[in-house]
Structure 1
Amino acid sequence: MPTALRLFRYVAIAEAFSWAGLLVGMYFKYIAATGELGVKIFGPIHGALFVLYVAGAFAAARVARWSLGTVVLGLACAIPPFTSLWFERRVIARFRASTAGSAAESVAA
């Protein structure tokens, strides 16, 4: 798997974990009203990982030759919590299937 796709995968997973941390922090800040430490910690972490996810999506799109629709879907999946995981698994599976198919064709030729 190309480095750009591998890094995109790691960032997508980390972005989902940062969403979880931010949501827990928001619960304690707004629902339990016990403090805002979780938001202060996970807010900037999630923000940085969001930016890395977007940059990683563009890099992975270039390497894997995603269609414009796939790029738009990947960028949209950065917004709702945990959808980056779904998208990452989808595109990695498609990439592996396409490279396995092309490898089988070259062996048969």
Structure 2
Amino acid sequence: MDGALTRFRFMAYVVGVGLLLLVAAMFAKYVGDSETMMRVVGPVHGFLYAVYLVLTVDLALKARWSIKGTALVLLAGTIPFVSFYAERRVVEGVRTGKAL
């Protein structure tokens, strides 16, 4: 389970940073009228979020999370800064043996 947790932690940070970049790209697109950043960051974030989903489900199956807990962690990658919070909670829960 340590490998699954490590992969999840890495992707949670990557997706969190990617989401912040996506927000900056959206801001540049709608306020600065520049779509260049959005054309690059949007698809990259989408791909990385898909990888995050797969790795989260892998960890959820190994840690025997509830469907509700799994869904909440999956959604954490869609709200800025929440993936960082969810990562901390998940690590605490997995290390102490608490299921989500």
TM bucket by the smaller chain?
Answer: 0.7 to 0.9
| 8 Å Cα contact 1:5/1:60 also seen in 2 | yes
| 8 Å Cα contact 1:26/1:39 also seen in 2 | yes
TM-score (norm 2): 0.88
Q: Percent identity?
A: 33
TM-score (norm 1): 0.81
Moved over 3 A (4+): none
Aligned-pair distance for 1:32? 1.7
Aligned-pair distance for 1:78? 2.3
SS at match of 1:77: helix
Relative contact order higher in (CA < 8 Å, ≥ 6 apart): 2
User: Unaligned stretches of 5+ in structure 1?
Assistant: 100-109
Q: 2:51 is aligned with what amino acid?
A: L
Aligned-pair distance for 1:29? 1.1
Whether 2:4 is the aligned partner of 1:4: answer yes
SS at match of 2:77: coil
Aligned counterparts of 1:97 and 1:53: Cα–Cα separation in 2? 22
User: Unaligned stretches of 5+ in structure 2?
Assistant: none
